[in-house]
Amino acid sequence: MRRVVVTGIGAVTPLASGAQNTWQKLLNSQSGIKSIDTFDVSDIPAKIAGLVPRGEGDGLFNAEDHVSIKDMKKMDDFIVYGIAAADQAIADSGWKPETDEDQEATGVLIGSGIGGLPKISEATDLVNNGKTRRVSPFFIPSCLINLVSGQVSIKHGLKGPNHAVVTACSTGAHAVGDASRMIMLGDADVMVAGGAEAAVCRLGMAGFAAARALSTSYNDTPTEASRPWDEGRDGFVMGEGAGCVVLEEYEHAKARGAKIYAEVAGYGMSGDAYHITAPAEDGNGGFRSMRNAIRNAGLNPEDVDYVNAHGTSTPLGDEIELGAVKRLFGDHAQKMSMSSTKSATGHLLGAAGAIEAVFSILAIHEGVVPPTLNLRNPSEACKGIDLVPLEAKQRKVNVALSNSFGFGGTNASLVFKAV
């Protein structure tokens, strides 16, 4: 089977625009969660979110750097974020396919959990208020999930497989995993893969709040709200942004002298077959997804140094995941590190697995594991494992595993390995 490596990374997150900018803030224990001031939240119990910092200057997100003003109205924010993260990852990889052959060997697979919820909400208002004729001809392509992949392919002339994943909060991980398989099987030599999300709007907040999924006790102290495994956790914090990687067949990358961050060594999937929003209580789905990924990598659990957990800061999910990790890794659980970077970014839903893949790759590449913020009082069941509380930690990471679990009981785990 052909080997697949990561040669480019990109991220637009509540911490910053840019993978390195985001990573530095993450390692400095900064949080990207703040009060929502862009729309009315007076009637919504959760009033905070991880919002992409906008503006001009290093680390701030300026949409016009990536999309012309004319084209901006043809896409909802999740597409703009996705294009930006892809632009960054492609520039970082140095891969510029110009011949027909190279363009046809380069594909795109970027997903989203929800797609253009803000635009759907706006257009619904028009239709329900007798303004059907005001619905833009760009409405549908502005909110379709696969239009991130479509727009990226058009912008960069990428004519290989053009695909999109929709598996709720597992989307980003599935996208990276599926794209790596396309390269392994020879459908492409290079894939731009990732996830994008921008569902922080009244409709999105109201929906997740109604599902009782969001944190509501920390509206006055937003940076303390996302606290995976901490006794005071009370739900996840919505986030927005996008993560992207350039995946490349190993020999292809070597031949052009590309910088190689890590290898996509393994990919595992599973279904809970249990409940639409709650994880199976025994953590069996997450357990099998991790086990499958490690097996697919040809490794043993003892080889894993770092786990980037799904860890969303919900009362139920965090402990179930941790239980599955303890069962799978046994005594080795005490020797590895595991953290939840959602403590700093919030939960980027369909983008989460992609930015967390980027963090796992950087942990290997830079020999440091990012912290779990706000983890001051771990719940009783969350002891006996290094959850990297509060501060980043230097440690050699040869193998990293990243978990993503989504509504519908869909689980994905990725294993990255130093090359």
Partner 1 sequence: MSDVADRVKKIVVEHLGVEEDKVTENASFIDDLGADSLDTVELVMAFEEEFGCEIPDDAAEKILTVKDAIDFIEKADS
Query: Which residues form the interface with partner 1 (CB under 8 A)?
Result: 68-71, 73-74, 133-134, 136-138
Least distance to partner 1, CB of residue 75, Å: 13
Please classify residue 257 by burial: count the beta carbons closer than 10 Å to its beta carbon, then call 0-12 exposed, 13-18 middle and 19+ buried.
Answer: exposed
C-alpha span between 140 and 392 (Å, rounded): 43
Cα dihedral sign, 39-318-306-264 = negative
Q: Which is nearer to partner 1, 153 or 167 (CB)?
A: 153
What tokens appear for 40 in the block?
A: 């009315």
For residue 344, what is the enclosing H or E element? helix 342-345
Our CB check for partner 1 shows the closer of 96 and 134 to be 134
Q: How far is the CB of 164 from partner 1 (least distance, A)?
A: 21
135 or 206, CB closer to partner 1? 135
In 65-224, which ranges are continuous DSSP H helix? 69-72, 77-93, 100-104, 117-128, 139-143, 147-156, 171-184, 202-210
User: Shortest distance, CB of residue 69 to partner 1, whole angstroms?
Assistant: 6
E-assigned strands of 281-369?
A: 306-308, 337-339, 368-369
Helix axes 171-184, 352-366, angle to 10 degrees: 70
Tell the smallest beta-carbon distance from residue 124 to partner 1 (Å): 17
Q: Cβ of residue 71: shortest distance to partner 1, in angstroms?
A: 8
Minimum distance from residue 134 beta carbon to partner 1 (Å): 7
Instruction: Give CA–CA dist 61/390, Å, rounded.
Output: 26
Written as one letter, the residue type at 108 is: V
Query: Mind giving me the DSSP string for 15-50?
Result: S-BSHHHHHHHHHTT---EEE--SS--TTSS--EEE
Which of 143, 169, 244, 382 is catalytic? The answer is 169
Looking at the Cβ atoms of 74 and 202, the one nearer to partner 1 is 74
Hey, CA dihedral for 142, 144, 148, 153, is it positive or negative? negative
Nearer to partner 1, 62 or 221 (CB): 62
* Rounded least distance, CB 154 to partner 1, Å: 12
Nearer to partner 1, 132 or 334 (CB): 132
Q: How far is CA 112 from the centre of its chain?
A: 10
Q: How far apart are CA 55 and CA 65, in angstroms?
A: 11
For partner 1, the closer of residues 73 and 335 by Cβ is 73
244 catalytic? Reply is: no
Q: Rg of the chain's alpha carbons, rounded to an integer? A: 20
> Among residues 344, 356, 339, 347, which one has the least CA distance to residue 31?
344
Active-site residues, by number, are 169
